[in-house]
Amino acid sequence: MTLPRPNVAILGGGPGGYEAALVAAQLGAEVTVIDEDGLGGACVLTDCVPSKTLIESSSTMTSLSRAASLGLELSNGANPEVAVDAPALNARIKALAAAQSHDIAEHVAAEGVRIIQARGRLTGPHTIEAAGTTVQADVVLIATGATPRALADGVPDGERILTCRQMYDLAELPEELIVVGSGVTGAEFAGAYQALGSQVALVSSRDRVLPHEDKDAAVVIEGVFRRRGMNVLGKSRAEAVHRKGDSVVVTLGDGRQVTGSHCLLTVGMAPSTQGIGLAEAGVKLDPRGFIEVDRVSRTSLPGVYAAGDCTGVLMLASVAAMQGRIAMWHALGEAVQPIRLSHVASTIFTDPEIASVGVSQAAIDRGEVAARVHKQPLATNPRAKMGGFRDGFVKIYARPGTGLVLGGVVVAPRASELILPLSIAIEQNLSVDQLAHTFSVYPSLSGSVTEAARTVMEFGTDAIL
Ligand SMILES: Cc1cc2nc3c(=O)[nH]c(=O)nc-3n(C[C@H](O)[C@H](O)[C@H](O)COP(=O)(O)OP(=O)(O)OC[C@H]3O[C@@H](n4cnc5c(N)ncnc54)[C@H](O)[C@@H]3O)c2cc1C
């Protein structure tokens, strides 16, 4: 006798939704994904993939700007210039995002998943309605993501007052870009557009950029921004953004005004959880509108799971994908380990990049975690000298006594790649001793990881810094 295949319905086709669909299909479920914009979700179509594609171009500009210091001449002119072709740049970004979305849709469909391109809403614990179709399911996953917030007195018009999703429709590079908000998205865009040639002002309500990130790393990035000519306005809350002809005027809390050609609002993300039947069906939302979930992605409504930005757990593609997979493993009876947020590696794609994993310096400083800390400056690394990189460091935290790696921060070019040894160390319970005895290539930036581990070891791991 063959048992009936369980039905799974997934609302939202971003990393939270499509990764869950793949797992559920592999486990033998009949899976339907309902998405209104395209598979890959906002991650692929408007957020993560487009912004990182933009940053690949801006990083190349930064590399070219260092050419003279490396003994290279770009042209015979006294001031060699590389021009940005904004339409070509944006067309490449959008084409790449569309192609990635198409590849994901093909992959998901090849696994036998039904895709409905429409807006859907939950009409009961086991039903989603979309485009006149009722999808019945034993298990429902909500993965509807989030959308950029605006200011009460600063509404995006898609022309000069923009969200991060509207930047790729610009026909020209913004001449003077005011970025409101100095969190991860604000810092990434401010750095990228400055490298491409825009005059950038970064409005930060706090006393430093990246207020929620490692302080040492934020200090490095703010220093780099200022050295490259960015106007960083600290302790400056933007109250209003208005258009004045072909300009935008940002009014700060103390009455000062900043004028530019364009304004990019990066003031956070709001969960896409309204008007889709969640509260009516009995799915509990927190006061900010995020869906409440436990560590295996269960909502308050039995049989209904949620994953990704709509849960507000950690707004990262990797976390969304893991929450989605965990939901399916749990719902379909597989052995499952609850999500471990302390193991999540993340990167801020500024130049240099900031990558971190494990415990934070802030938690150590607050006395919540006992750790030995060593910070190895990048400037002493031979490969960094060859490349002309002087901003950055590798920081490792180790448990006193055992020397187990608890976390770390890497500020360097391609720190997103360099963080992996520390992630592996945390996942596999490795000590700084084991890391220090691992061969790194000479010369390499990863040599600073093993050197930092060696230094923590030499200092001994029994004392707390
Ligand atoms: C500018 C920017 C850069 C980022 N860069 C990175 C990065 O470098 N690395 C990283 O890890 N994360 C990054 N993120 C975060 C990352 O994009 C999100 O964490 C990720 O997209 C979350 O995935 P998700 O599946 O929850 O939702 P999303 O990717 O937002 O997908 C949700 C999908 O659901 C659909 N949907 C919503 N409501 C409905 C409905 N009612 N019916 C049908 N479909 C619906 C939407 O159309 C969308 O396709 C970035 C975010 C931003 C804003």
| Average predicted confidence (pLDDT) for the chain | 95
Does residue 250 line the site of ligand 1, with CB under 6 A? no
Does residue 166 line the site of ligand 1, with CB under 6 A? no
Amino acid at 149: R
Burial class (CB in 10 A: 0-12, 13-18, 19+), 440: middle
- Counting from 1 in the atom list of ligand 1, the atom nearest the Cα of 13 is 33
pLDDT for residue 1: 62
The tokens 């460091």 sit on which residue? 393
pLDDT for residue 462: 44
What are the tens digits of pLDDT across the range 373-400? 999 999 999 999 999 999 999 999 999 9
Please provide the DSSP assignment of 288-344 as one string: TSPBP--TT-B-SSTTEEE-GGGGTS---HHHHHHHHHHHHHHHTT---PPP-GGG-
CB 407 within 8 A of CB 379: no
Look at residue 16 and give its three-state secondary structure.
Answer: helix
pLDDT for residue 73: 83
**235 alpha carbon to ligand 1 midpoint, in Å?**
30
Give the separation between CA 228 and CA 391, rounded to whole angstroms.
13
Q: pLDDT at residue 312 above 90?
A: yes
Does residue 403 line the site of ligand 1, with CB under 6 A? no
CB 356 within 8 A of CB 344: no
Give the separation between CA 80 and CA 64, rounded to whole angstroms.
10
What are the tens digits of pLDDT across the range 123-160? 999 999 999 999 999 999 999 999 999 999 999 999 99
Return the H-helix or E-strand segment holding 94.
Answer: helix 86-110
Mutation choice for ligand 1 from 47, 59, 101, 273, CB with most ligand atoms inside 8 A: 47
**448 alpha carbon to ligand 1 midpoint, in Å?**
34
Q: pLDDT at residue 94 above 90?
A: yes
Q: Using CA positions, which residue lies closest to atom 15 of ligand 1?
A: 316
pTM of the model: 0.96
What are the tens digits of pLDDT across the range 226-257? 999 999 999 999 999 999 999 999 999 999 99
Does residue 19 line the site of ligand 1, with CB under 6 A? no
Q: pLDDT at residue 464 above 70?
A: no
Look at residue 250 and give its three-state secondary structure.
Answer: strand
Angle between helices 15-26 and 317-331 (to 10 degrees): 30
CB 61 within 8 A of CB 195: yes
**80 alpha carbon to ligand 1 midpoint, in Å?**
39
Does residue 318 line the site of ligand 1, with CB under 6 A? yes
Q: Using CA positions, which residue lies closest to atom 1 of ligand 1?
A: 47
Q: How distant, in Å, are the alpha carbons of 163, 228, 349 from that of 184? A: 14, 19, 8
Q: pLDDT at residue 80 above 60?
A: no
Does residue 324 line the site of ligand 1, with CB under 6 A? no
Query: In sequence order, which residues have a C-beta less than 8 Å from that of residue 105 and are 6 or more positions away?
Result: 38, 39, 40, 115
Q: What angle do CA 252, 254, 257 make, to 5 degrees?
A: 40
Choose among 151, 149, 147, 203: nearest CA to 180: 203
End-to-end CA, the chain: 64
Does residue 111 line the site of ligand 1, with CB under 6 A? no
Q: Using CA positions, which residue lies closest to atom 3 of ligand 1?
A: 48
- Counting from 1 in the atom list of ligand 1, the atom nearest the Cα of 44 is 29
* pLDDT > 90 in the chain, percent: 93
Q: pLDDT at residue 275 above 80?
A: yes
What are the tens digits of pLDDT across the range 179-214? 999 999 999 999 999 999 999 999 999 999 999 999
- Counting from 1 in the atom list of ligand 1, the atom nearest the Cα of 120 is 42
**257 alpha carbon to ligand 1 midpoint, in Å?**
33
Give the separation between CA 339 and CA 462, rounded to whole angstroms.
30
Q: Where are the beta strands (DSSP E) in 54-145?
A: 114-117, 120-124, 127-130, 133-136, 139-142
The tokens 């994901």 sit on which residue? 104
